[in-house]
Amino acid sequence: MNIEEIKGLLGVGQLSLNEDLNEAKESTGWYSQWFNDERVRVIMPADAVNAVMAGDNPNLGLNEPQEKEGPKGKYTLKTIVAYTADVVM
């Protein structure tokens, strides 16, 4: 899938991913966006974000949603992943 197909699955017209930083203000290697009204967090690894931004059109996927517990209650985590190789079985 490409990023447009992922946005379609998420039901959004635009993703505004922000770099996640740890307490020391260092990159975690992930980008994320919160959809507060729906209590949904979408995350994507930095290498996949960089590939999309560079126009490399990586093969993306969307993992199964996970229910998580956060400081403000339960939320759904959706992870966008980039596939780096074809698997042949």
Q: In whole angstroms, what is the distance from residue 74 CA to residue 11 CA?
A: 20
pLDDT band at 75 (very low <50, low <70, confident <90, very high): very high
| 21-32 pLDDT, tens digit each | 999 999 999 999
- A 10 A CB-CB count for 37 gives 6
Spans of all domains in the chain? 3-83
Task: Kindly report whether the global pTM for this prediction surpasses the value 0.75.
Answer: yes
